[in-house]
Amino acid sequence: MFGFRTLGFALLALRASAGPIAKRAEAYYNPADNGGSMLTNAGSLGEPLNVIVSGQSSPDVLSYDGIVNYARAIGFSTECFGIHLGGPQSANLGDGNGWVNQTAELREDYGHANVGTCLESGIGGNHFRVFKQDGGDADSGALFLAASTEEPSTEHHTIIPDGYDIGRDTLVSWALGTTSYGGVTYSTTGENVTGLLQAGTSGINHDIAIDGIVTVLTVTIQ
């Protein structure tokens, strides 16, 4: 008879043959814990890294092509004809890589993934910069985003009043729930975290106050 003891041995053998159970990645590491910063380097001041795409998201979201496709699913796309005006910003995510230039900059596409960012470049809107935490000292794989809403080109793309918090909230509102692009469907949940950023204007570009909230998004490909 196939008793409980035999069943137990069978389950142990099955578990052993399957190999070790993979440990889930950390959602993110606090850059400040290892000499990094939650502010980018935009010159003498910085912009807040106010959204994190968790390292516990589907791995395909956390690559360059993955975040670009996800961005297109939530209302953003690559820059107009691939042309970037202005210098890239850098960030030190405390992962041992030091200050590294942004991986990408994605802009609001006004409903047209191919050419809509040309409109954003002209009239302004939402955009975000992407930095990946993947160094050997803190390899979460998470993407740290600096989101903001900017003025039109006639105002030299400066950030609107309260533009960092507005940029974060706009991006999050577009991301939450179910979205899709290019045959890929995403489910996104969010959690607000305090303690990573200091509220106020200290060190913030354009002397624009922030509320100190960082939203952590977990993105799952369905």
pLDDT tens sequence across 93-114: 999 999 999 999 998 887 766 6
Residue 108 has what pLDDT?
87
Instruction: Look at residue 1 and tell me if it is in a domain.
Output: no
**Domain span holding position 46:** 26-221
- The pLDDT assigned to 2 comes to 38
What pLDDT is attached to residue 123? 60
Structure-block tokens of residue 18 = 């399957």
**Which stretches of the chain score pLDDT less than 50?**
1-24
What local confidence, expressed as pLDDT, does residue 114 receive?
67
What does the pLDDT read at residue 103? 95
Q: Is 133 part of a structural domain of the chain?
A: yes
Which value, to the nearest 10 degrees, does the dihedral of the CA atoms of residues 162, 99, 217, 206 take? Answer: 0
pLDDT in tens, 139-156: 999 999 999 998 766 655
Amino acid letter for position 58: S
Total domains in the chain come to: 1
Structural tokens at position 102: 């942004």
Q: Is residue 217 part of a domain?
A: yes
176 falls within a domain: yes
Q: What is the DSSP string of 31-84?
A: GGGGT--SB-BSSSSB-B--EEE-TTS-GGGGSHHHHHHHHHHTTEE--GGG--
Classify residue 127: in a domain, yes or no.
yes
CB burial readout 146-157, b (16+ within 10 A) else e = bbbbbbeeeeeb
pTM of the model: 0.85
